[in-house]
Structure 1
Amino acid sequence: MISFALRGWDGLLAVLRWTSMAVLAFMMLTICYDATMRYVFTAPTSWSLEINSFLIVYLAVIAAAEAQRHDAHIRITFFQNKLPQRLQALIAIATGLLGALFCAILVWRGGLLALQAFEYGERVSSAFGTPMVLPYALIPVGFTALGLQFLIDALNAGQRLIHPAAEESSHG
């Protein structure tokens, strides 16, 4: 059952990864289009900056779980790697649980922010008038995914704490 859930999780993160790549490609095209319109035809778009500002938030928030999954965040591990395996596992458990707690708070507060924007019909004061519920909704969605990944990391570290020999034999 757990392996089925983890396969589903991997599938969901793959979808988020591919949508992030599509968003990045879309941003590249629209920024190039806007630059061409601005500097070649002296007719800049009224929407490119607004849309791309929100899409950069999408990339930062939605891709965070995938980066956490692959341990791709920048960190300094020199001293941590010198510690015994069990202490490293305990640190990883604490990090995972604290990260999940932080994400839970952001999901809660981001959800309230998105709900309030929806209730009051908040929009960006621009020609495009993007409903603010859309970018605000990215906060609870992205941090839910990141929080779940932190929990998975904490569970994996718990496995390493319980079965340290299995971890050492898989690396050796």
Structure 2
Amino acid sequence: MIKALRLIYRWVNKLIELICILILLFLVVITSQQVLMRFIFNRPASWGEELSIILLIWFGYLGIIIGLRDDKHISISFLVNKFPEKVKKLVDILGRLLIAWFSLLMFQHGLQIVKLDAIREMPATGIPASYVSFALVITGLLILIESVLKIFIPTTDTLRK
């Protein structure tokens, strides 16, 4: 069971990292194309800025998952480090429960926003607006899973081996 969980965990994390790399690559290409078209040819593409915004939103949300996984998020460690070990563990669990609760809210409200955005399209690209708001749903779900894993398996190194 733990072997299958480890495999899924690694696969999902590699997929998130790959998607972030591809998004960053597309952002560089699209932004370069926009600059070239605007300042050299004086004919900016209408879709470039909108697509860059969509990609940046997804990049930011997926980056949150990576930051949480690697414990790179902001924390009040200078205060917590003064506590005894048992209190540190309790504060860590409470923090992760709070993150899990918030991610559950992100997931639930993200679903509602996706439903509302299903009828709208982005003006320049025609991309459904729900594709943008779906980032909330995916991020909320993956943060919830990551938080629960970190509560029950304090170090995810067990899954990363």
TM-score for the superposition, normalised by structure 2:
0.89
Identity %: 20
CA contact (8 A) 1:103 1:144 kept: yes
**Retained in 2: the 8 A contact 1:94–1:154?**
no
Measured in 2, the distance between the counterparts of 1:62 and 1:111 equals 17
Listed one character per residue, the Cα deviations across residues 47-103 of structure 1 (whole Å, up to 9, x for unaligned) are: 111011111110111221211111112333112112111111111111111110110
Task: Work out the CA distance in 2 between the residues paired with 1:42 and 1:130.
Answer: 25
- Report the number of matched residues: 155
1:163 matched residue in structure 2: none
Tell me what 2:12 maps to: 12
Offset of 1:127 from its aligned partner? 3.0
For structure 2, the residue ranges without an aligned partner over 5 or more in a row are: 156-161
SS at match of 2:55: helix
Number of the residue aligned with 2:135: 138
TM-score, normalising length from structure 1? Answer: 0.84
Return the letter of the residue paired with 2:151: A
Find the aligned partners of 1:102 and 1:83 in 2 and give their Cα distance. 25
Letter in 2 for 1:144: L
Q: 1:16-95 alignment to 2 at 5 Å?
A: 16-95=16-95
Query: Secondary structure of 1:78's partner?
Result: helix
Could you say which residue in structure 1 is the equivalent of 2:120? 122
Distance change >3 Å, CA 91–CA 156, structure 1 → 2? farther
For 2:58 and 2:132, locate their aligned partners in 1 and report how far apart those are by CA, in whole Å.
8
Aligned amino acid, residue 125 of structure 2: F
CA deviation map 1:111-163 (0-9, x unaligned):
11112322xx2112x23222111101111011111111111122234x8xxxx
The list of structure 1 runs, each at least 4 consecutive aligned residues, that deviate by more than 4 angstroms after superposition, is none
Contact 1:103 1:143 in 2 (8 A): yes
Partners of 1:14 and 1:63 in 2: how far apart?
13
Match of 1:148 among 112, 123, 145: 145
Paired residues for 1:97-108 under 5 Å: 97-108=97-108
One-letter identity of the residue aligned with 1:80: V
Computing the radius of gyration from Cα coordinates, the structure with the larger value is 1
Structure 1 runs not aligned, ≥5 long: 160-172
